[in-house]
Structure 1
Amino acid sequence: MLGLRRAGPVGAAPALISGLRAVLMILASALVAVLGLTSFMAVKMARRVVTPGGRVPDTRILDVDTAAQTITLSRTPDTVLPGRYGLFTVGTSAYLKLGSVLSEDASGVKRKLLTHVATDAHLAPEAAFSGWYFDSPDDLRLPYTTELVGASVGPCPAWLFPADDEQAGTWVIQIHGRGTTRAECLRAVPVFHAAGITSLVVSYRNDGEAPRSRSGTYALGATEWHDVEPALAFARRRGARRIILMGWSMGGAIALQLALHSGHRDLLAGVVLESPVVDWRRVLDHQARLLGLPSRLADLTVGTLQREWSAGLSGADAAIPFDQLDIVARAAELRHPILILHSDDDGFVPSSASHDLAQARPDLVELHVFDVARHTKLWNYDQQRWTQAITAWLERTELTAPAV
């Protein structure tokens, strides 16, 4: 009997060990699969971040009343915004200017058309809502010339809007954001023109107008600033004695890199930022949460993009230095007055980094907080307040007076 009692446990031990090994192998395989899937998703997100995308339809045209010149769009957080906007369309017209909201319900928003639509027009249902409003420099009815700024990637097209008094010597260089072109900046030209400031509206690599880099991908401002640097030299040659930088969204990240690294910092007099990217890590974390993805995935995406061996998996030319692009962490290095215009309801670039930068450098940074206005649509939402904020800042920093 004693022998039988001993035989049970001893005989069961190999089976128990074998079972545990099987369970551990299953768990290890599952862990490898999860890690593999997470890594795949991180690389996929990284590729999405650095790849310039085309304009994606974000609303639908539900009805066009050509007699009343109104258009009804599907309801989105953007299409319900008050103010003047644009709509990229496919069909008879490529772009329409939109006026105020006339009525709305749970599914649709009726707006006034500011571009005439003929009775025989044909428009596809898919459309993209835009804050540009002006899509051509001709819309401004200001004198301008088309220029080419020589950058390392090749000649980059630019629009030059001279001040009425070209001897004033103050220029503003306008830098557009990710996935857009220089037309995004046209809204600001009249404000600076009224202040006696010459505007140079520039392009940079991979934006669809300037030359393409080897990989055709973004570096989130880390290399794009090199394409805008020659624009400062261009302005200097043309008589600029003071230069203001204005950056929109990712253009803000580019402007801040110029403020820290440009060889023409002696000419820089200030920086204006509209819905800017001040810290890319926060933007990626915000975007991950919007997509219902864990914040850990945003961290892995940053890790993928900032390491030389893995950045290539995303298609990037080189590793992206996120520490260099974190201007809150580098706030002590700033030397120029900065005006930030940002909506707490941005929806794409969270305003938290703008708030933190203003708190870190209250001696240099002036922050005007909007709400409801959404991303890069502050001019559209409240043109008067937006214009007054810039004009008052220019006066306080004495940038409306002739440069000496």
Structure 2
Amino acid sequence: MPARAAHAPSSESESEPLPRAVWALAGAGAALGLASAAAASSSALATYFARRIVTPERTKTEDQEVLAVQGEGSSRRVILRATSETRAEGEYSLFFDGGAGHVRLGAPIDYAPEETTVTRPVLAEYSGDITKAVRARWSGYVYGSPADLGLAYEDVILPLDVGRGPAWYVPAPGATWAILVHGRGATRGEGLRALPTVQALGMPALLISYRNDGEAPAAPDGRYGLGMTEWRDVEIAIQYALDAGARDVVLFGWSMGGAISLLAADSSLLREHVRALVLDAPVVDWVDVLAYQARLNRIPSRVGRLGQLLLGRSWGRRLTGLAAPLDFKAMDWVTRAVELRTPTLILHSVDDDFVPVGPSLELAKRNPEMVTLETFRHARHTKEWNVDPERWMSVVSAWLSDVLAPRRAPGGAA
């Protein structure tokens, strides 16, 4: 049994226009000057774009309006400003008071389009006083810890090469462990939704933190590796499980956690112990995601491509802050489809507004022997469980039961 860990604005002034005489003197070099200015502007925007991609955000924006809280106990409900998120079907959470407050919400019970409000029931109040909240952050996490699911668990520490990485260990009788890997900007709580399924399959679970996620220590450069560095933290989690008696593991990954899990299954010295991958809205091609994000943010395509070059070339490190350039080819699983030899289940919404479903569709098409794809609708990004938890659990349970089942030899022996 794993040992229990000890708890331990500045303003910018507008430039004055040049005098008329200066314009006359500058006539011959005007075109060159404008071109240089445009190039400098593109370079600056590309640098900003690239840095935003790999720089962890330490504060979470509370951008949802809490208009009113009504009722008490089981009849309590909250009225929110209607947005595409707050109107979504399924269960979600509100975090408020800088993350200190947390309540779980049920599906909408009233929508008033003329007032742009939506009313949802409060299913559980985990911390804080929602009646005092005026703004909150919307989340698909639903639960705050394994205890919210009524599960026994232990706080454990993983010996990452950057320092002590906190994790939750949830016991179960099986010899195949589930290692749950959250996405970019998230924390280990993202994987809690999978625990009922994992428990039903008898799999012990390890919900991990990794470098730069705000719970584990930062890497020396303080930058995400988009999977290139984080997979080593997953490797340490695999070793931890093996040392604690696991025979093998299944890696669950959400969003960037999918990219991390794919690299761990490919690059780790322990990859033979990775029995399967369950990936929710995974990044299987970072170039596609970055191009999509550039378009979404109205960044010219040439600027987006320059941002990718900055991230992928040694000469860009001074501008991005990365200790080493990123290898986008190694993380392009559409091109590398035939190299994926670990049974993989992908769950991905067709309307994902952060990681487009296209590469997942193409990966499944190119390697149907290894990749099973289940598409969802109206789940946006990593909310497949929230929109349809029964289907999510049924699909994952049935697929894993088949993949993990003992194979019988021709003679009939298992």
TM-score for both structures, normalised by structure 2: 0.87
Match of 2:393 in 1: 387
Q: CA deviation at 1:201?
A: 0.8
Match of 2:347 in 1: 341
Match of 1:81 in 2: 88
**Cα shift readout 1:20-57 (whole Å, capped 9, x = no counterpart):** x9766211111111111011001011111111112122
Distance in 1 (alpha carbons) for counterparts of 2:372 and 2:276: 11
Secondary structure of the residue that 2:184 maps to in structure 1?
coil
- Check if 1:206 corresponds to 2:219: no
Distance in 2 (alpha carbons) for counterparts of 1:97 and 1:64: 14
Q: CA deviation at 1:120?
A: 7.9
Alignment equivalent of 1:29, drawn from 33, 55, 64: 33
Does the Cα contact within 8 Å between 1:84 and 1:98 map onto a contact in 2? yes
Secondary structure of the residue that 1:322 maps to in structure 2?
coil
Q: Which shows bigger deviation, 368-377 or 282-291?
A: 282-291
Secondary structure of the residue that 1:345 maps to in structure 2?
coil
Structure 1: runs of 5 or more not aligned: 1-18
**Cα shift readout 1:329-357 (whole Å, capped 9, x = no counterpart):** 11121111000000011111111111111
Letter in 2 for 1:135: G
The alignment covers a number of residue pairs equal to 381
| Superposed counterparts of 1:203-352, under 5 Å | 203-352=209-358
- Check if 1:369 corresponds to 2:378: no
**Cα shift readout 1:267-292 (whole Å, capped 9, x = no counterpart):** 11110000111111111111122222
Secondary structure of the residue that 1:323 maps to in structure 2?
coil
Distance in 1 (alpha carbons) for counterparts of 2:29 and 2:264: 53
- Check if 1:192 corresponds to 2:198: yes
Secondary structure of the residue that 2:329 maps to in structure 1?
helix
Letter in 1 for 2:140: G
TM-score for both structures, normalised by structure 1: 0.89
Distance in 1 (alpha carbons) for counterparts of 2:358 and 2:377: 13
Distance in 2 (alpha carbons) for counterparts of 1:149 and 1:399: 29
Match of 2:109 in 1: 102
- Check if 1:42 corresponds to 2:40: no
Does the Cα contact within 8 Å between 1:312 and 1:318 map onto a contact in 2? no
Distance in 2 (alpha carbons) for counterparts of 1:177 and 1:93: 21
Q: Which has more radius of gyration?
A: 1
Match of 2:18 in 1: none
Letter in 1 for 2:315: W
Structure 2: runs of 5 or more not aligned: 1-22, 408-413
Does the Cα contact within 8 Å between 1:197 and 1:400 map onto a contact in 2? no
- Check if 1:141 corresponds to 2:150: yes
Letter in 2 for 1:257: L
- Check if 1:65 corresponds to 2:70: yes
Does the Cα contact within 8 Å between 1:178 and 1:250 map onto a contact in 2? yes
Q: Structure 1 residues 43, 91: closer, same or farther in 2, change over 3 A? A: closer
Q: CA deviation at 1:215?
A: 2.1
Secondary structure of the residue that 2:97 maps to in structure 1?
coil
Q: Which shows bigger deviation, 312-321 or 356-365?
A: 312-321
Q: CA deviation at 1:105?
A: 2.8
- Identical-residue share of aligned pairs (%): 42
Letter in 2 for 1:39: S
Q: Structure 1 residues 234, 91: closer, same or farther in 2, change over 3 A? A: closer
Q: CA deviation at 1:399?
A: 4.5
